[in-house]
């Protein structure tokens, strides 16, 4: 029999099974490291020598070196060990035909990859694979029980601390149920998408069919018309009129900050061939829609907003429609939809000075506009047309086919708003203050 000699990595030994007499490789940390608390102290690596050596070099040994040096950082594998969750995720993120991931925006891809990496790097705190990274488990080991254990452990972040008075060590725990939910869904998508591409992907997804306690969801604050007025007043005073215009755009057109800051261009507003229309994009659905700014009788549907957007456009023919205050065409939004540094702090300063609650954010104005349409008596379909929430193909066809649906819904909003303005004017007259309508259409000059 021909034999070859292979140099084994440190702490790797050949053991013989007492039951079968078969030789296999085994990882055993030193007694000093075991007593110091390093886990896993002992791991059966099996009979596949190349696979066992790869796992030691790429996973176990780097973690031991980090432990010995006192580092608490998670060390990624230098390369994916064959047959592990790490390898499946590597295929998911690199194989062009494997998943919807390659069709997502750069921002979404970055978020999903971050979630997958965090899930793979989670060190299990209990169970038969205690002390192992989830990504280092073999596909067979990553069963439904381990998937559930990952979700439950991941949502509780434990930070080791020491009580300064008595000197005892303890864990400071923080709960992150939403992050755990997103990580779990990302891993489930990876197992689904690699089926048929990666031969070891199980036929039954270990992340599918799992039931967890309902997570308490925070309701987004919906800014009302009075909140909007106060925001516009303060934005004018602080010479941040364009930020106020962005809030009004979100309120009236029900579109997200990503669409306003990154996608709403001068070319989309009253072009030569569409002098009374503008193109809006719903960020999540990527659906672009030309909307009418006037009804069929020529009456403005968005009078205050139109006046402000005319001011923002000026004589420009290209560039972002609502630029940063003090600039000609510098956008707040980046190409991936994120907002430039400084936008949210400036918005927060405006909202605080306007006396709005801490829970009020930019999203609150979009939610407030949708809420106002409901208060105005808009039907479900009319609200979906206004907000861009299209969940069925039939609804999408209906929305494309009709013009009167948006006009009818917006006229209901205008009627309700006029009632509010009358009440506010009466109140302000009693207080010898100017009317909110003049504030809305004020050019700021």
Average pLDDT over residues 261-266: 93
Q: What is the pLDDT of residues 410-419, one digit of tens each?
A: 888 888 988 9
Q: What is the DSSP letter of 320?
A: B
Higher pLDDT, 392 or 275: 275
Confidence of residue 269 (pLDDT cuts 50, 70, 90): very high
Mean pLDDT of the chain: 82
51-65, 88-102, 201-215, 304-318: segment of lowest average pLDDT: 88-102
State yes or no: pLDDT of 191 exceeds 70: yes
Q: What is the band of 24 on the pLDDT scale with cuts at 50, 70, 90? A: confident
Q: Which residues contact 383 (CB under 8 A, 6 or more apart)?
A: 370, 373, 374, 389, 409
Q: Is-contact 355 226, C-beta < 8 A? A: no
Q: CA-CA distance, 319 to 301, in Å (whole number)?
A: 25
State residue 356's pLDDT score: 95
The arithmetic mean of pLDDT across residues 286-290, rounded, is 86
DSSP E strand boundaries for 1-46? 12-16, 23-28, 42-46
Q: Within 10 Å of residue 409's Cβ, how many Cβ atoms?
A: 23
* Residue recorded with tokens 């971050």: 114
What does 294-335 look like in DSSP terms, one character per residue? B-TTS-BSSHHHHHHHHHHHTT--SSBSS--TT-SS--SB-T
**Percent of the chain at pLDDT above 90?**
36
What was the pLDDT predicted at 434?
53
What is the Cα–Cα distance from 433 to 426, expressed in whole angstroms? Answer: 10
Q: What is the mean pLDDT of residues 246-268?
A: 93
pLDDT of residue 247: 96
Nearest to 212 by CA among 187, 243, 178, 250: 178
Average pLDDT over residues 420-424: 89
Q: Are 429 and 437 in contact (CB under 8 A)?
A: no
- Please give the C-alpha separations between residue 426 and each of 415, 423, 434, 439, in angstroms, as whole numbers: 17, 5, 10, 15
Q: Looking at the structure, give the CATH architecture of the domain made up of residues 225-441.
A: Orthogonal Bundle (1.10)
- In sequence order, what DSSP letters do the residues of 107-120 get, joined into one string? HHHHHHHHHHHHHH
Q: Give the other-Cβ count within 10 Å of 145's Cβ.
A: 12
Q: Is the pLDDT of residue 77 over 70?
A: no
User: Does the model's pTM come out above 0.75?
Assistant: no
Report the distance separating Cα 106 and Cα 108, nearest Å.
Answer: 6
Does the structure show a pLDDT above 90 at 146? yes
Give the pLDDT mean for 150-161.
85
- Mean pLDDT for the stretch of residues 73-94: 74
Q: Where are the domains of the chain?
A: 1-79, 80-213, 225-441
At 277, is the secondary structure helix, strand, or coil? strand
Residue 258: both structure tokens together = 């990503």
Predicted local distance difference test score (pLDDT) of residue 433:
53
Alpha-helical regions (H) of 167-270: 177-193, 225-237, 241-253, 257-258
Task: Give the rounded percent of residues in the chain with a pLDDT score beyond 70.
Answer: 84
Residue 141 burial (C-beta neighbours within 10 Å; 0-12, 13-18, 19+)? middle
235-256 pLDDT tens trace: 999 999 999 999 999 999 988 9
Looking up tokens 């003049």 gives: 438
CB 190 within 8 A of CB 92: yes
């Amino acid at each position: 029999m021909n034999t070859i000699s292979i140099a084994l990595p440190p702490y790797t030994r050949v053991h013989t099974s007492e039951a079968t007499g078969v030789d296999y490789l085994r990882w055993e940390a030193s007694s000093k490291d075991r007593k110091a608390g390093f886990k896993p102290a002992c791991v059966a690596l099996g009979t596949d020598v190349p696979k066992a050596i790869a796992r030691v070099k790429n996973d176990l040994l780097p973690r031991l070196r980090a432990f010995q040096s006192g580092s608490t950082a998670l060390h990624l594998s230098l390369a994916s060990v064959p047959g592990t969750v790490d390898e499946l995720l590597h295929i998911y993120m690199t194989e062009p035909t494997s998943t919807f991931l390659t069709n997502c925006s750069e921002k979404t891809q970055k978020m999903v990859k971050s979630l997958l990496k965090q899930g793979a790097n989670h060190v299990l705190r209990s169970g038969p694979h205690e002390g192992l990274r989830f990504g280092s488990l073999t596909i067979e080991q990553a069963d439904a029980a381990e998937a559930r254990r990952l979700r439950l452990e991941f949502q509780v972040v434990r930070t080791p601390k020491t009580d300064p008075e008595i000197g005892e060590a303890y864990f400071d725990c923080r709960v992150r149920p939403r992050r755990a939910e997103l990580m779990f869904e990302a891993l489930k998508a990876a197992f689904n998408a690699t089926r048929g591409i990666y031969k070891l992907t199980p036929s039954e997804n270990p992340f599918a069919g799992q039931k967890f306690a309902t997570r308490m969801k925070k309701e987004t604050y919906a800014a009302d018309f009075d909140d909007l007025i106060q925001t516009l007043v303060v934005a004018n005073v602080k010479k941040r009129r364009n930020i106020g215009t962005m809030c009004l755009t979100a309120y009236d057109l029900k579109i997200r900050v990503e669409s306003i800051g990154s996608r709403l261009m001068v070319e989309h507003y009253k072009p030569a061939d569409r002098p009374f229309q503008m193109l809006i994009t719903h960020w999540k659905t990527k659906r672009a829609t030309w909307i009418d700014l006037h009804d069929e009788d020529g009456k403005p549907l968005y009078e205050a907003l139109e006046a402000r957007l005319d001011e923002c456009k000026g004589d420009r023919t290209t560039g972002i429609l609502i630029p940063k205050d003090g600039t000609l065409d510098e956008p707040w939004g980046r190409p991936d939809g994120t907002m430039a540094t400084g936008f949210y702090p400036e918005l927060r300063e405006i909202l605080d000075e306007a006396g709005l609650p801490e829970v009020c954010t930019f999203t609150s104005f979009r939610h407030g506009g949708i809420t106002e349409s409901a208060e105005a008596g808009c039907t479900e379909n009319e609200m979906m047309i206004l907000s861009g929430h299209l969940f069925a193909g039939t609804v999408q066809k209906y929305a494309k086919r009709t013009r009167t649906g948006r006009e009818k819904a917006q006229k209901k909003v205008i009627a309700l708003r006029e009632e509010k303005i009358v009440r506010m004017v009466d109140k302000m007259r009693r207080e010898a203050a100017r009317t909110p309508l003049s504030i809305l259409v004020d050019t700021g000059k």
